[in-house]
């Protein structure tokens, strides 16, 4: 097997890495790069090197870097009002919430709780489930919902949980099968499960979609047993998969989830998240049940509303479908023996590898000026900005093919 490329180096990069090591909490890994600026799908490090960004901050920078819509919205709002606390509201929050309700299709019973991150949105969802009075929450093996204690409890990754055990009680992790879900819902005579929490695509597991038909079956079973269906759209929302939210590929207006959690791409890089509910789930929180000092602040929600408006105006959902198909077919057409499959939807793509060398491929790509991610030892994750064009895809394929070739065992 070839040697892994040496770490990216440079006078300012090395100096800043040393400073980082002295001040950053040790839970943070050494930075692969120290980035200074960006434009579109390109970023630059402190030593002036350019990189083609096909990760977009892990599906966050939906409009790429320094998009004029974000710059204008942030500048305009910062000059007017940045924060007011949750004793008050602003036109920006109300418009943002209205847009989320409309795009989700949740209708007149739709309600929004605004948070600052995906993990906070999941925490709100867990508290919502507790308010049903039922003791059990069902989640799935390999799922990832965040690292705060409630979010970690529903995350199906024992290695992440074990240093912080015991976890919040009442959470069970299932195999992703209809049989496992049906049996768990029926256990204890039925009626004991508060909620089922799932991702349409398990991003941190290597971009692994749910089995075909599973989401619709989960909706049927949760409805039958009176449990909430909560869909984690943190990585799959904001048009990333070619629909506004991942559940919309399978669930129609008569089968909507009871709640979704959103973050990442909805803010285009600004920290913002939300829990969106419908129907009876919208009545579970009452005054004083939950809150956030910064949640719903006008700067974050004003920018997020502008980002979602631009995705809608520019029809980036269609672009995600078109560019995603171009990427999938192009990767398979490379004919590399290392590539075993291409998974995902739209511009959330997982590339299965025949060998556990994902980190090696990612390191080689970085030295060629391409940013991608090793989601697992044998999976590459792509989540480029939604604004990429056909030329960008061709450029990616050239760089990626070279990295695959260089990483052959």
Strand runs (DSSP E) across 1-49, as ranges?
35-39, 42-45
pLDDT for 3: 63
Q: Are 292 and 115 in contact (CB under 8 A)?
A: yes
Within 10 A of 318 (CB to CB), how many other CB atoms are there? 12
pLDDT for 10: 82
Q: Coil, strand or helix: which one is 398?
A: helix
Which candidate in 264, 285, 364, 396 is catalytic? Answer: 264
Q: Are 403 and 368 in contact (CB under 8 A)?
A: yes
Spans of the chain below 50 pLDDT: 1
Beta-sheet pairing, 379-382 with 373-376? antiparallel
Contacts of 354 (CB under 8 A, 6+ apart): 337, 338, 339, 340, 378
State yes or no: is 14 an active-site residue.
no
CATH architecture of 70-313: 3-Layer(aba) Sandwich (3.40)
Q: Does this model's pTM top 0.85? A: yes
Mean pLDDT score of the chain: 96
Residue 190: closest CA among 224, 231, 214: 224
Q: Are 199 and 241 in contact (CB under 8 A)?
A: no
Please give the Cα distance from 320 to 241 (Å, whole number): 7
Which candidate in 53, 232, 258, 305 is catalytic? Answer: 232
Strand runs (DSSP E) across 239-313, as ranges?
259-262, 273-277
State yes or no: is 202 an active-site residue.
no
pLDDT for 1: 44
Tell me if the bond preceding 332 is cis, omega within 30° of 0. no
For helices 91-104 and 298-313, angle between their N-to-C axes, nearest 10 degrees: 40
Paired with 193 in beta bridges are: 136
> Domain segments of the chain: what residues?
11-61+315-406, 70-313
pLDDT for 4: 67
State yes or no: is 232 an active-site residue.
yes
Q: Tens digit of pLDDT for each residue in 244-259?
A: 999 999 999 999 999 9
Please give the Cα distance from 378 to 345 (Å, whole number): 19
Q: Are 355 and 337 in contact (CB under 8 A)?
A: no
For tokens 């949760």, the residue is 222
Q: Which CATH number fits domain 11-61+315-406: 1.10.150.170, 1.10.3720.10, 3.90.1150.10, 2.60.40.1180?
A: 3.90.1150.10
Which candidate in 144, 214, 245, 285 is catalytic? Answer: 144
Strand runs (DSSP E) across 12-125, as ranges?
35-39, 42-45, 50-53, 111-115
Q: Tens digit of pLDDT for each residue in 79-99?
A: 999 999 889 999 999 999 999
| Length in residues, the chain | 409
């Amino acid at each position: 097997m070839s040697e892994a490329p040496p770490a990216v180096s440079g006078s300012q990069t090395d100096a800043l890495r040393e400073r980082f090591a002295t001040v950053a909490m040790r839970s943070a890994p050494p930075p692969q790069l120290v980035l200074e600026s960006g434009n579109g799908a390109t970023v630059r490090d402190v030593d002036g090197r350019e990189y083609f960004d096909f990760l977009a901050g892990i599906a966050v920078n939906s409009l790429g870097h320094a998009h004029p819509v974000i710059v204008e919205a942030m500048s305009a709002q910062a000059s007017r009002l940045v924060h007011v606390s949750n004793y008050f509201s602003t036109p920006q929050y109300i418009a943002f919430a209205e847009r989320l309700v409309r795009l989700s299709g949740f209708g007149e019973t739709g309600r929004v709780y605004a948070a600052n991150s995906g993990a906070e949105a999941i925490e709100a969802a867990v508290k919502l489930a507790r308010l049903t009075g039922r003791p059990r929450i069902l989640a799935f093996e390999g799922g990832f919902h965040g690292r705060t204690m409630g979010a970690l409890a529903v995350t199906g990754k024992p290695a992440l949980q074990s240093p912080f055990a015991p976890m919040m009680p009442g959470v069970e992790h299932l195999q992703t099968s209809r049989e496992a879900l049906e049996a768990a819902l029926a256990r204890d005579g039925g009626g004991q499960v508060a909620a089922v929490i799932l991702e349409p695509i398990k991003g941190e597991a290597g971009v692994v979609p749910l089995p075909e038909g599973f989401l619709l079956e989960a909706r049927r079973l949760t409805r039958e047993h009176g449990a909430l269906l909560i869909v984690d759209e943190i990585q799959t929302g904001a048009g990333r998969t070619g629909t506004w939210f991942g559940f919309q590929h399978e669930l129609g207006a008569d089968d909507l989830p009871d709640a979704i959690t959103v973050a990442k791409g909805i803010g285009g890089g600004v920290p913002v998240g939300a829990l969106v509910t419908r129907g009876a789930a919208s009545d579970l929180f009452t005054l004083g049940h939950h809150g956030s000092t910064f949640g719903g602040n006008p700067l974050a929600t004003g920018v997020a509303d502008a980002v979602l408006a631009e995705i809608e105006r520019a029809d980036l959902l269609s672009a995600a479908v078109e560019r995603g198909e171009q990427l999938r077919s192009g990767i398979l057409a490379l004919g590399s023996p290392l590539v075993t499959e291409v998974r995902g939807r739209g511009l959330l793509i997982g590339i299965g590898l025949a060998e556990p060398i994902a980190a090696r491929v990612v390191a080689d790509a970085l030295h060629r000026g391409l940013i991608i991610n090793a989601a697992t030892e044998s999976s590459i994750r792509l989540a480029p900005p939604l604004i990429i064009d056909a030329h960008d895809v061709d450029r990616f394929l050239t760089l990626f093919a070279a990295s695959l070739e260089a990483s052959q065992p």
